[in-house]
Amino acid sequence: MKAFVVRKYKEPLQLAEVAEPGVGENDVLVKVLAAGVNQLDEKIRDGEFKAILPYKPSFILGHDAAGTVLEVGSKVNGFKAGDLVYARPRDHRIGTFAERIAIHQDDVALAPATISATEAASLPLVALTAWQALVARGKVQPGQKVLIHAGAGGVGTIAIQLAKHLGAYVATTASAKNAQFLQELGADQVIDYRSEDFEKELSGFDLVLDSLGGENLEKSLRILAPGGKAVGITGPPDPAFARKAGMNPLARLAIAAMSATIRKQAKKLGVGYEFLFMDASGEQLREIAALVDSEVLRPIVGKTFGFSQAPQALSALAQGGFRGKAVITGA
C-alpha cells in the first residue's frame, strides 16, 4: 500500500510502497478516508520529540484518521466491517498518512454521524487534548475562568467550545481578524496578541491551556488565581510525565531539569503547572462524538489537501493563515 514515511529526521516526507498492516486480535483495520495534520506530526518529523517519542526511521507519520472498517480482530467488540470510525492511534502505533492502518480497538470510536469523514478526521488529537486538559486535568466547573491560548488553532477552536459548554468564562489570545469568529465559537474575551498584553488584561483565572510555552507560559502563571493551574501542551515535560512514560532514572532526571524553573515559579506563585501529552482514548472519543452530534462542538477544517500533497500539508502548518485544522483527504 502507499504511505508517507519519515526516512530520516528533518527530511521531507517520502511517498513509499509499504507492507500491509498486520491485524492483531484486538485490532480494527481501517481504510483511511481522511487524516488530520497536527503540529505533533511536524515536531516528530523534525526530530524535536525524539527524547519523548524515539521513533526509528523509517516510519509512517500521522496521528488522526477517519475511515471505514475493513476487518476486525477476533477479540474486537463493538465494530464491524463497514462502520465509519475515527481515532487517534496510540503512540508507537501511529501511521495515518497511509491507505490503511490497524488500530487497537480501545483507541477507536464510531465517528459522529452528523459530519463528514474529513471533519471527523480533524478531531481526534485536538479534541482529546482539549478534553483531557479541561475535563480530566482542569476539572472545569461552571463560573470558572479559563484562558485558552492560540484560540484560532486546532486545539483552540475545540477547547473554546468545550470550555463554554462546561460553563466557564472563556478568554483567548488570537489575531484581531479572528475575534468575531472566536466569539461565535463561545469566547467571552479575545485578546489581540499583536497589540495587547494578556498579562495586563487578565487576572484571577482558574485554568490556562498553553500551547506556546516559553515566556508565554511564564506570563500565564501570573494571571492565575491562587490554586489555579496552567496545563502546557508544548512543554516543558514534567516529572509526572516521565514517570507515566516509564522513562529510566537518568531520563527522569533530565526531564525534571527541563521543567524545574517553571515549576519553581509556579510554586512561588501558589499555582500549579502540568505538562499534558494526550493519551489515545476511544471512550473519550465516544463522548466527544455525542457532543458533536448534539451540536455542542463543531469541527473547524481550515484547509484540505489531496493524499499526494501530504508534505505540503505539513508545510502549511508553519505558514499558518488558516483557522482550525488541515486535513489530508482521499488516500
Q: How many residues does the chain have?
A: 331
Model pLDDT, residue 167:
98
Model pLDDT, residue 331:
63
Per residue in 274-298, pLDDT (tens digit) is 999 999 999 999 999 999 999 999 9
User: What pTM did the predictor assign?
Assistant: 0.96
Taking the mean position of all CA atoms in its chain, how far away is CA 18? Answer: 27
Please give the grid coordinates belonging to residue 65.
484518521
Residues carrying CATH 3.90.180.10, the chain: 2-123+299-329
**Is the distance from CB of 59 to CB of 113 less than 8 angstroms?**
no
How is domain 2-123+299-329 classified at the CATH fold level? Answer: Quinone Oxidoreductase; Chain A, domain 1 (3.90.180)
CA 54 to CA 248: how far, in whole Å?
14
Tell me 116's DSSP state.
-
Neighbours of 39 (CB within 10 A): 19
Closest CA to 132 of 299, 284, 324, 286: 284
Residue 163 backbone phi and psi in degrees, to 5: -60, -40
Please give the grid coordinates belonging to residue 198.
494578556
CA angle 268, 270, 273 (to 5 degrees): 90
Per residue in 179-217, pLDDT (tens digit) is 999 999 999 999 999 999 999 999 999 999 999 999 999
Q: Which residue has the cell 512543554?
A: 235
**Is 90 exceeded by the pLDDT of residue 316?**
yes
Q: What is the CATH number of domain 125-275?
A: 3.40.50.720
Instruction: Tell me the DSSP string of 147-160.
Output: EESSTTBHHHHHHH
Closest CA to 162 of 113, 209, 118: 209
**Is 80 exceeded by the pLDDT of residue 67?**
yes
Residues carrying CATH 3.40.50.720, the chain: 125-275
Model pLDDT, residue 39:
93
CA 305 to CA 300: how far, in whole Å?
15
CA 52 to CA 62: how far, in whole Å?
16
